[in-house]
């Protein structure tokens, strides 16, 4: 593969008919232009120009070669224009992955507003809780609830993920409202099995961290399904407010021990490190920050 800069210099010399005129156009010295053409001839192993003290003319090889140089350089310019076009405004296809619960409840409903702002942009979205290899799968943005972040990705924090210990008012009316974590020993505690520590709930109080053994009649690996069991009055559970926010706001669920539950996770937008972040990625992340923000709508009131 030849150096495009050498080809460009030669094309300008062929077009202007002299080293001096090409040098002025390119902002180079005459000797630098002459050396560039000589280097190209050496690499090709062929003479491109006939030189005399007063005149330059192309050889047969040079005349044939410059036609191809011009086409290649034109394509290079068009390629740069395509990149500039796509980087200047959000255009093309944005490939997004999002975790199942948060993606379904909050990202997907936001897409109509986002795409309404950017008519030249399409979205290819995958809803999954599996780990995404962004480089391998060509993914632009991953929206993920996380505590520990992968070191090879850039992370923008979108919103806190708060959890509430909650149950229905009827459940609390029948079994009482726990006032301290140790009160949970007499409650039917429904366990989320993806937490990694079944039968042990952790809190933070005035005395520091507290680990409380709990037991209950249901263990389940999905927060949305767990919330339905709680709404049915079966027991109480630790659930993220981005799932149960509307139920708390409507009074269908009631929270307890909120002062003992710290914010341990956040929603992040993850993307591959790059010196020039594409406009479509920047626009999407800015939109999510605006929509979710530091005070998420599901936590208000």
Other CB atoms closer than 10 Å to residue 92's CB: what's the count?
16
C-alpha pair distances (Å), 237 with each of 38, 255, 283? 78, 10, 37
| pLDDT reported for residue 84 | 60
pLDDT tier at 86, thresholds 50, 70, 90: low
pLDDT tens-digit series, residues 197-206: 788 999 998 8
Q: How far apart are CA 67 and CA 73, in angstroms?
A: 10
- Tell whether 17 and 41 lie within a shared domain: yes
Other CB atoms closer than 10 Å to residue 36's CB: what's the count?
24
| pLDDT reported for residue 15 | 84
Residue 194: both structure tokens together: 């993806």
- Tell whether 198 and 243 lie within a shared domain: yes
- Tell whether 154 and 286 lie within a shared domain: yes
pLDDT higher than threshold 80 for residue 25: yes
Q: Report how many domains make up the chain.
A: 3
Question: pTM higher than 0.75, yes or no?
Answer: no
- Tell whether 148 and 168 lie within a shared domain: no
Query: At which of 58, 88, 118 does a domain end?
Result: 88
| pLDDT reported for residue 87 | 58
- Tell whether 13 and 47 lie within a shared domain: yes
pLDDT higher than threshold 70 for residue 85: no
Residue 38: which residues within 8 A CB-CB, separation 6 or more? none
pLDDT tens-digit series, residues 119-137: 999 999 999 999 999 988 9
Q: Which residues pair with residue 51 across a beta bridge?
A: 56
- Tell whether 203 and 255 lie within a shared domain: yes
- Tell whether 84 and 102 lie within a shared domain: no
Residue 72: both structure tokens together: 């290649």
Share of the chain above pLDDT 90, in %: 63
Q: Which residues pair with residue 249 across a beta bridge?
A: none
Q: How far apart are CA 73 and CA 298, in angstroms?
A: 54
- Tell whether 148 and 178 lie within a shared domain: no
pLDDT tens-digit series, residues 37-67: 999 999 889 999 988 777 888 898 988 888 8
pLDDT tens-digit series, residues 144-169: 999 888 888 999 999 999 999 999 99
Q: Which domain holds residue 113?
A: 94-160+266-299
- Tell whether 14 and 77 lie within a shared domain: yes
173: left (phi over 0), alpha (psi -120 to 50) or beta: alpha
**Of the spans 23-37, 141-155, 237-251, which averages the highest pLDDT?**
237-251
- Tell whether 270 and 220 lie within a shared domain: no
Q: What average pLDDT does range 12-18 have in this prediction?
A: 86
CATH number, domain of 274, equals: 3.40.190.10
CATH number, domain of 70, equals: 1.10.10.10
């Amino acid at each position: 593969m030849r150096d495009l800069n050498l080809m460009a210099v030669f094309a300008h010399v062929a077009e202007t008919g002299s080293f001096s005129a090409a040098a002025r156009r390119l902002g180079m010295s005459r000797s630098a232009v002459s050396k560039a053409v000589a280097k190209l001839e050496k690499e090709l192993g062929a003479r491109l120009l006939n030189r005399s003290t007063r005149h330059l003319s192309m050889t047969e090889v040079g005349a044939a070669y410059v036609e191809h140089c011009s086409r290649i350089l034109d394509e290079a310019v068009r390629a740069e224009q395509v990149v500039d076009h796509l980087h200047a405004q959000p255009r093309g296809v944005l490939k997004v992955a999002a975790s199942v619960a948060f993606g379904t409840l909050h990202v997907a409903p936001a897409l109509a507003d986002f795409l309404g702002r950017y008519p030249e942009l399409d979205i290819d979205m995958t809803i999954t809780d599996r780990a995404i290899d962004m480089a391998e799968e060509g993914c632009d943005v991953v929206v993920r609830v996380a505590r520990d972040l992968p070191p090879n990705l850039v992370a923008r924090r979108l919103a806190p993920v708060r959890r509430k210990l909650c149950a229905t008012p009827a459940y609390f009316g029948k079994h009482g409202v726990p006032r301290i974590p140790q009160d949970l020993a007499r409650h039917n505690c429904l366990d989320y099995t993806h937490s990694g520590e079944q039968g042990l709930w952790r809190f933070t109080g005035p005395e520091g961290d507290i680990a409380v053994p709990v037991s209950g009649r249901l263990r389940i690996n999905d927060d949305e399904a767990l919330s339905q069991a709680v709404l049915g009055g079966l027991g109480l559970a630790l659930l993220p407010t981005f799932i149960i926010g509307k139920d708390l706001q409507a009074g269908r669920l009631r929270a307890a021990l909120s002062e003992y539950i710290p914010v341990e996770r956040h929603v992040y937008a993850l993307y591959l490190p790059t010196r020039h972040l594409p406009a479509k990625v920047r626009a999407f992340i800015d939109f999510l920050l605006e929509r979710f923000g530091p005070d998420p709508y599901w936590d208000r009131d």
